[in-house]
Amino acid sequence: MEELIRKAEDMGINVEDVLISLISKNDPKEEIRLRLDLAKKYMKECEDYLKKGDAVQASEKAYKVAEELIKALAEKFNLEEYQKALREGRWYTHLLVSASSKLSQKLGDWVCRAGTPGTRSTYGVFMRRSSQ
């Protein structure tokens, strides 16, 4: 099973997103609940990494918290980005950034400050890693 998950992730498939989408197909509110549960899990992991002094891992988990919250809010407000992610079967970075921007217009600038910079900084880390 782990090898199957690794192969899917190597292909750019977010296994968590696929499973959440399938589980919540008949109950859309379930997706929001699952994403909030994931955000809580990642926050705990972030705090654990901070206690260990591992800032890199902590920042990656903090990014995942922001990502899950943006996805949950995008679904709650039925944003175009959420609908597009459903159709395409995945969330792309540009969809997260766009959803973050729209959510900040609806809910306040805190959404953009919390989500977009994390998305951009993590994207930059991945780009640097892939060019090495």
Q: How confident is the model at residue 75 (pLDDT cuts 50, 70, 90)?
A: very high
Contact criterion met (CB below 8 Å) for 104 and 112: yes
Check which CATH number belongs to the domain holding 82 and give it: 1.20.120
pLDDT given for residue 86 in this prediction: 85
CA distances, 115 to each of 27, 44, 94 (Å): 26, 18, 12
Tally the domains of the chain.
1
* Confidence check: pLDDT of 108 > 90: no
Domain span at 69: 2-131
Q: How many CB atoms lie within 10 A of CB 118?
A: 21
Least confident residue range of 1-10, 35-44, 118-127:
118-127
